[in-house]
Amino acid sequence: MCAAQDGDSAAYATLLTEMLPLLRRSVAYKRPGASDVEDIVQEILLSVHTVRHTYDPERPFMPWLMTIAARRTIDAARRQASRNANETAVDVLPETFSRDDAKSDQEIADDQAFLRRALAQLPDGQREAVELMKVKGLSLQEASVVTGKSVASLKVSVHRAIKAMREFTKKEGWRQ
């Protein structure tokens, strides 16, 4: 580690190579059955690389290294516990739509016709902005080039158009 701190890249590569099996064993021992052992080892290596300047050559290397390893392993366990507290495991993922509940071709056509009517009631500038950005998928910058309008003007047009279309759907009683 002393040579690595002095800029010897070969010594640093050797150090990392020799640390790897030790770190793998240490993490596997502390987290038996964990599937993220390699991820934790990589985090440890990144930490060692980041804080290598803090190593004091007057002190033993292994306690310094194992302290870093222990802390990264604990961090990983905390992340896993936090993740497990907020997740629910299921054996079979539910389908978003079952076949019986999915929209029929007629319902899809009706929805499209309704949206065309909602678009048609918009002023020309708003309709053009929505068609370019929401239907055709152009970015603000691309739509700005096509229309000659500023990005800010397009944002306002789209915002007002969506608000007007919401009002139209409420007024017309569109089912969703």
Distance, in Å, from the CA atom of 80 to the CA atom of 105, rounded to the nearest integer, reads 44
CATH number for 105-172 (one of 1.10.1750.10, 1.20.1090.10, 1.10.10.10, 3.90.420.10): it is 1.10.10.10
What is the pTM for the complete model shown? 0.48
pLDDT digits (tens, 9 = 90+) for 65-76: 999 999 999 999
Residues 6+ apart with CB under 8 A from 176: none
pLDDT tens string, the chain, 176 residues long: the values are 989 888 889 999 999 999 999 999 999 998 888 788 999 999 999 999 999 899 999 999 999 999 999 999 999 989 888 887 877 777 777 666 655 556 677 776 777 888 888 889 999 999 999 999 988 999 999 999 999 999 999 999 999 999 998 888 888 876 65
Task: Give the CATH fold of the 2-86 domain.
Answer: Rna Polymerase Sigma Factor; Chain: A (1.10.1740)
How many Cβ atoms from other residues are within 10 Å of residue 144's Cβ? 18
Distance, in Å, from the CA atom of 15 to the CA atom of 130, rounded to the nearest integer, reads 59
Q: Which of 33, 32, 19, 27 is nearest to 72 (CA)?
A: 27
Q: List the chain domain ranges.
A: 2-86, 105-172
**Confidence at residue 84, expressed as pLDDT on a 0 to 100 scale:** 79
> What are the phi and psi torsion angles at 110 (to 5°)?
-65, -45
